[in-house]
Amino acid sequence: MSTLEKTIGLLETMPNDKIETVYAFVRFIDSDTYEPPSEPAAMKKETIQSMLEIAHEYANPALIEQEEGAFERAIAEKYATDRH
Q: What is the pLDDT along the chain (84 residues), one digit of tens a residue?
A: 898 898 888 889 988 888 888 888 888 778 766 566 666 777 778 888 888 777 777 777 777 777 788 888 888 988 887 655
Instruction: Compute the distance between CA of residue 33 and CA of residue 82 in angstroms, rounded to an integer.
Output: 43
Burial label for 62, CB within 10 Å (0-12, 13-18, 19+), is exposed
